[in-house]
Structure 1
Amino acid sequence: MKSALIGFITCLFLFNCTKKEEKTVAKNIPYIISEENKTKIINNDTTPPPPKPPGWLVYGTNSFIIDNDSTVYYSQRKEVGRICISGIEEGDTIPYFIDLQPKDLIEIHKNYISDFIKTNYKTDFKNITFICSKTNTLKSKSFFALQNALKSNTQKGDFYHIRRTTQEEDTVLKYKKNNKYYDSEDIKWDKTKIKFLNYKIKA
């Protein structure tokens, strides 16, 4: 009887541990960018990947860059409106050059991400946010803190998307971290990954 009771308590203990572990895993599921951008087949239903944003919308109004060491950097654009320019092609998804500067990237500690979004996000504006990762798999505490904060603070009309960092973001971040002088004209850009156009944004 005593051994049976001990066995029952042991099983109950193991069951509860497993249950807690399952909850933890389910709560923080790693996000794999390449997998999310593939066609999915679930129960014989085919779901195509989400369309890539057009080149002029790659940066949205708010961008959070998650570095290799999980440090989060934030940059903001004042507005994203109608583009007035000739030469924009339909289906053009190559990121446009936005003249990002090292001073535009603000480092945010993961413990203050939620408060930062509450304080800085506009309530009378459509916030278009991009979570940008240097790696293909996002599973850091910084990523989950950012994702949860965005889910809790988004309002009607807001949305966020997860993507890899662009060539311009990678370059500017490198100069910021190394505290070096940056001039975009000194960079040997890969023109297949960035598009240089003189354009104006109309509100």
Structure 2
Amino acid sequence: MPDILVQYEAEIWLSIGETFIMVGASIGAAILLGLPVGTLLFLCRKGEVIENRLVFTVLNLLVNIIRSFPFLLLVVFLIPFTRLIIGTAIGTTAAIVPLSIIAIAHYSRLVEQSLLDVPKGVMEAAISMGASVKEIVFKFLYVETRSGLVLGLTTSIISFISYSTIMGVVGGGGIGDFAIRYGYQQFKTDLMIYMIIIMIILVQLIQFTGTTIARIIDKR
């Protein structure tokens, strides 16, 4: 192992752990809230089973507004809100708030797009069999789009890792923040390059895992 990595080994492992905490929390938010929001966006569209123009318009507007914010500005804008619910705007825990919010908006849009690709015949068959809305969602829509949902989540996770590099602004830590503070600002270019390599390896592993799972569960 290069000497520079041995010198900063403890700090590197700490930064990796902080990245996993932030990204893990955002993944949880994406699945628990982003998936339902995306599904509701689809179901409330014109011509769908629970068409509701008001709900669709409100959700669609919120998602668009959040996704339109440059992430750094979103982090700064949410500082008062983060301080209100967490008690502080600094640290890894505080960084989870803006990451989770962007995660929900990001993944919900990908979920909606995946569901829009479901053939109309599938919906018509479900309705003709008297399926309830819950059955349509879980037994038809999610089964039909499971591969696309996994690929969408994989893409989202990679985006979350990228967003996490910005969280040094609020003391969130992580690999990106470590690379900037210890590598770039202290003119240790080799250390910064090693951190970039770690990020590349991490992203490649996530992409490979997500693609493999999507291929296995795709029974079409």
TM-score, with length taken from structure 1: 0.25
Structure with bigger strand share is 1
Structure with bigger helix share is 2
Larger Rg: 1
TM-score, with length taken from structure 2: 0.24
